[in-house]
């Protein structure tokens, strides 16, 4: 029997995706047996021994010919902590390959990089989500939580009642609409100029003396350099670039300052989402948000703070324990000799046998099948053919591989490109843990048996390891894997060493770091200082630059992408739920009535979108909820209407985050092309 709980994060609430998630367990095309590619391009069912023998043989052949890095691994942010840990260990110990990354690179990498260099730690929200309820002001940058995670909205009720919710979004999204009727402010910037808004807010805080001077002096470094870097971004200059009125910028800065503890306010929070992070200057933008929060004395104080809003179910835990290209368990850097020695001792291997850092996801995908690049790829829990930028090029790279192996529950678009598809269990069919956006470690419990021949990734990795000469280091009991993960994380920034399945069963959830079995966990980080060499946070100056693919005569409009209430990520699961698909059956192009009139487009008419990467078609949806210089597409759909056929794979130089949120695009009514002479 399943019983509801008044859980502190969602207070027992679910959105439509949550209420219908059980339907994916019995999807008509649920994968129940291993599938092998046939000479005619189709698939045939196979037994596990045949499929795993084929995969192991392909790995051996590739590595004997081209070395350990001939095999690469791509993970997913939906994997449990145990499976993310085991996949990272398998890649580095059994394969000896440095080439592993995951789809969290498309989600949290800019925020993680900025948090680590400014604060010394990346833990998503450094406070319980429920703390938001007492704030006088919340600045929400680039996140449509009302559509992407509706239970989040209840935590904003208090700040809305006090008129303090401020939302930065080029669209009048469902979240932006929460600011109506005196509940707050909606700031609608030109796409690609979010950093300008933040630089101007910092300018106002410094110019008007709104900073918490005592906090800045005692707990930060870098103020003189930051003051110099933001001096040129007075609000009138910023207005000319970002399109937000100078007085609206000043009002936003003053509201945040008035709400801050130093001025007797209830508290203020600054939260970032993918809208400002998925950019070639995503790390710089989040850095500026952290700078603003530090100047106002918000971070490391109860009732105030900064944090990025995690988008995937286990995007936090995946990067903490081994899926990122440069990290070992416990959020340790793989290039750190002490970190290598500690983890190697847990794994029972020589530290020198561990490979060095790999490369970020976009670079990894581009290497596939090229001279000197991997010829074999294992994908676990990701649908890169839909979710990666410049998706047409990604499909070409997958086609160039000698061997593509995909572990999935349904035949996703990426799985259908594979040579071998291995069926795995779903959320209700496994034990394990996840880590949510608050750094809260949560138990996942098995509610039903796995169907058909579906197997856990832990079992698959053990079987492959045995075929490749190493079975002893890969237990299949999730509790045992977690205990090993906890030992490997001990002393690291993400220390889980005091957590176990048994303790979670007894206590419900624990927020890391938790360095011992008697430690209560850490709901609020930074209260006693920052985990930097001197205990201070860094105020880091950043500079604005134009998007990599800025608007021009041939592509005069901004294309932005995002999520819908009824769909999730690449849509591989939610597009298989009939009620969700009926509500949002396909892609569309949202455009303002003024733009539609200028283009001669009617509501529902199919339009062509063309960028430097490719083109696609989708019906127009005319709405006043978007800027006249901008169009919006959801990214959940495959084939024609796939937004990521258009998006830019240029990346942030620090984090490797791709520039999903700003693409220069040409939009034309299809009927105008059909009437054109041949």
Query: For 513-525, what is each residue's pLDDT tens digit?
Result: 999 999 999 999 9
pLDDT at site 311? 67
Q: Report helix, strand or coil for 477.
A: coil
Whole-angstrom distance, CA of residue 486 vs CA of residue 503: 12
Q: Which residues of the chain have pLDDT under 50?
A: 1-2, 678
Count of CB atoms within 10 A of residue 569's CB? 23
- CATH 2.60.120.200 for domain 109-308: no
CATH topology of domain 31-107+314-432+444-471: Rossmann fold (3.40.50)
Each residue of 172-222: pLDDT tens digit?
999 999 999 999 999 999 999 999 999 999 999 999 999 999 999 999 999
From residue 365, give the alpha-carbon distance in Å to each of 66, 322, 414, 479, 510.
Answer: 18, 18, 13, 33, 35
Contact predicate 242/307, CB 8 Å: no
Size (the chain), residues: 678
pLDDT at site 1? 45
One of 3.10.580.10, 2.40.40.20, 3.40.50.2000, 3.20.20.140 is the CATH number of 557-674, namely 2.40.40.20
- The token pair at 34 is 């291993």
Domain residue ranges in the chain: 31-107+314-432+444-471, 109-308, 557-674
Q: Report helix, strand or coil for 16.
A: helix
Is the bond leading into 152 cis (omega within 30 degrees of zero)?
A: no
Question: Which helix or strand (DSSP H or E) is residue 306 part of?
Answer: strand 305-308
Rounded to the nearest 10 degrees, the angle between the axes of helix 235-242 and helix 246-259 is: 120
pLDDT at site 501? 98
pLDDT at site 678? 47
**Separate counts of helices (H) and strands (E) for the chain:** 25, 25
Rounded to the nearest 10 degrees, the angle between the axes of helix 478-489 and helix 337-347 is: 150
pTM reported for the whole predicted model:
0.95
Count of CB atoms within 10 A of residue 263's CB? 14
Residues paired with 100 in a beta bridge: 73
Whole-angstrom distance, CA of residue 594 vs CA of residue 589: 14
């Amino acid at each position: 029997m399943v019983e509801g709980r008044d859980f502190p994060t969602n207070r027992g609430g679910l959105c439509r995706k949550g209420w219908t998630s059980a339907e994916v367990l019995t999807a008509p095309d649920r994968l129940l047996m291993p599938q092998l590619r046939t000479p005619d391009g189709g698939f045939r069912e196979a037994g596990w021994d045949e499929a795993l023998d084929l995969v192991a043989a392909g790995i051996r052949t590739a590595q004997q010919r081209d070395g350990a890095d001939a095999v690469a691994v791509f993970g997913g942010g939906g994997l449990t902590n145990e499976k993310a840990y085991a996949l990272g260990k398998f890649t580095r110990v059994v394969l000896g390959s440095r080439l592993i990354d995951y789809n969290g690179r498309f989600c949290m990498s800019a925020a993680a990089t900025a948090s680590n260099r400014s604060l010394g730690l990346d833990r998503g929200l450094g406070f319980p989500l429920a703390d938001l309820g007492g704030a006088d002001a919340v600045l929400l940058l680039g996140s449509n939580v009302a559509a992407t995670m509706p239970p989040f909205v209840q935590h904003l009720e208090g700040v809305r009642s006090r008129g303090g919710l401020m939302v930065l979004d080029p669209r009048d999204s469902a979240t932006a609409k929460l600011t109506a009727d005196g509940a707050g402010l909606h700031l609608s910037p030109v796409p690609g100029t979010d950093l300008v808004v933040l630089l101007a807010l910092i300018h106002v805080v410094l110019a008007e003396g709104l900073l918490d001077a005592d906090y800045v002096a005692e707990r930060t470094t870098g103020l003189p350099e930051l003051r110099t870097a933001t001096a040129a971004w007075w609000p009138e200059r910023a207005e000319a670039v970002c399109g937000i009125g100078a007085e609206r910028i000043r009002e936003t800065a003053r509201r945040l300052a008035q709400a801050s503890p130093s001025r007797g306010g209830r508290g203020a929070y600054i939260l970032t989402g993918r809208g400002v992070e998925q950019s070639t200057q995503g790390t710089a933008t989040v850095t500026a948000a952290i700078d603003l929060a530090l100047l106002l004395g918000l971070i490391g104080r109860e009732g105030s703070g900064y944090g990025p809003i995690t988008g995937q179910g286990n995007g936090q835990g995946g990067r903490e324990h081994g899926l990122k290209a440069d990290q070992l368990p416990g959020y340790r850097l793989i290039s750190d000799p002490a970190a290598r020695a500690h983890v190697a001792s847990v794994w029972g291997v020589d530290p020198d046998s561990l490979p060095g850092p790999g490369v970020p996801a976009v670079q990894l995908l581009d290497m596939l099948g090229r001279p000197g690049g991997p010829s074999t790829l294992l994908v676990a829990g990701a649908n890169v053919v839909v979710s990666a930028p410049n998706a047409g090029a990604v499909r070409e790279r997958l086609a160039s591989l000698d061997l593509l192996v995909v572990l999935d529950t349904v035949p996703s678009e990426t799985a259908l490109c594979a040579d071998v598809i291995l069926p795995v269990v779903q959320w209700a069919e496994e034990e394990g843990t996840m880590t949510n956006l608050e750094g809260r470690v949560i138990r996942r419990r098995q509610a039903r048996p796995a169907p058909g021949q579906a197997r856990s990734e832990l079992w698959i990795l053990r079987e492959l390891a045995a075929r490749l000469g190493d079975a002893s280091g890969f237990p299949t009991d999730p509790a045992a894997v977690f205990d090993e993960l906890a030992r490997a994380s001990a002393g690291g920034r993400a220390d889980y060493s005091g957590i176990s399945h048994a303790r979670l069963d007894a206590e419900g959830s624990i927020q890391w770091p938790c360095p011992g079995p008697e430690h209560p966990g850490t709901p609020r980080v930074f209260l006693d200082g920052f985990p930097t060499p001197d205990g201070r946070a860094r105020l880091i100056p950043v500079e604005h630059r134009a998007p990599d693919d800025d608007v021009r005569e041939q592509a005069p409009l901004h294309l932005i992408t995002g999520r819908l209430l009824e769909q999730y990520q690449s849509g591989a699961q939610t597009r298989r739920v009939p009620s969700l698909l009926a509500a949002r059956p396909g892609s569309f192009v949202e455009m303002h009535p003024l733009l539609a009139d200028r283009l001669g487009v009617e509501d529902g008419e199919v339009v062509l979108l063309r960028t430097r990467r490719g083109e696609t078609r989708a019906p127009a949806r005319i709405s006043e909820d978007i800027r006249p210089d901008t169009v919006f597409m959801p990214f959940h759909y495959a084939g024609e209407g796939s937004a990521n056929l258009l998006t830019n794979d240029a990346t942030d130089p620090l984090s490797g985050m791709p520039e999903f949120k700003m693409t220069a695009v040409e939009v034309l009514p299809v009927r105008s092309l059909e009437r054109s002479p041949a």
